[in-house]
Amino acid sequence: MSGRKRPPLRLLGLHGYGQNQRSFHERTGALRKALRGRAELVSVSAPHAVPGPEPEPGNAAGRGGNRLPGWGLLGPGGPGARCSLSPQDADPRCWWLPRPREETLGAREEAASCAGLEESLEAVAGAFAAHGPFDGLLGFSQGAALAALLCARKQRGDARFPFEFAIVVAGFESRAAPPSYCQEPIAVPTLHVLGEADRVIPPALSRELAAHFVDPAILTHPGGHFVPASAPQKRAYLEFLAKFLK
Q: What is the pLDDT of residues 1-50, one digit of tens each?
A: 445 566 799 999 999 999 999 999 999 999 999 999 999 999 999 999 99
Query: Closest by alpha carbon to 116, among 63, 158, 177?
Result: 177
How far are the Cα atoms of 2, 8, 27, 69, 236 from residue 21, in angstroms, in the given order? Answer: 37, 21, 10, 21, 25
Q: Which residues contact 89 (CB under 8 A, 6 or more apart)?
A: 18, 19, 20, 23, 55, 65
Q: Prior bond to 203 cis, omega within 30?
A: no
**Would strands 39-44 and 9-14 be described as parallel, antiparallel, or unpaired?**
parallel
**91 among known catalytic residues:** no
CA separation for the pair 74, 60 (Å, rounded): 15
Per DSSP, what are the bridge partners of residue 218? 192
Mean pLDDT of 70-75: 30
Q: 120, 141, 174, 206: which is the annotated catalytic residue? A: 141
| Count helices and strands in the chain by DSSP H and E runs | 6, 10
Name the band, by pLDDT with cuts 50, 70 and 90, for residue 59: very low
Is residue 149 scored above 50 in pLDDT?
yes
Q: Which residues contact 107 (CB under 8 A, 6 or more apart)?
A: 75, 76, 145, 172, 173, 174, 201, 205
Q: What would the pLDDT profile of 187-246 be if each residue is shown by its tens digit? A: 999 999 999 999 999 999 999 999 999 999 999 999 999 999 999 999 999 999 999 987
**141 among known catalytic residues:** yes
Q: 198, 206, 212, 221: which is the annotated catalytic residue? A: 198
- Which secondary-structure segment (H or E) carries 125? helix 117-131
Which pLDDT score, from 0 to 100, does residue 81 have?
A: 37
**86 among known catalytic residues:** no
CA separation for the pair 112, 95 (Å, rounded): 15
- Counted residue by residue, the chain has a size of 246
CA separation for the pair 201, 135 (Å, rounded): 26
Is the Cα dihedral 165, 166, 172, 177 positive or negative? negative
Q: 48, 192, 212, 225: which is the annotated catalytic residue? A: 225
CA separation for the pair 98, 115 (Å, rounded): 7
Q: What would the pLDDT profile of 168-185 be if each residue is shown by its tens digit? A: 999 998 876 655 566 789
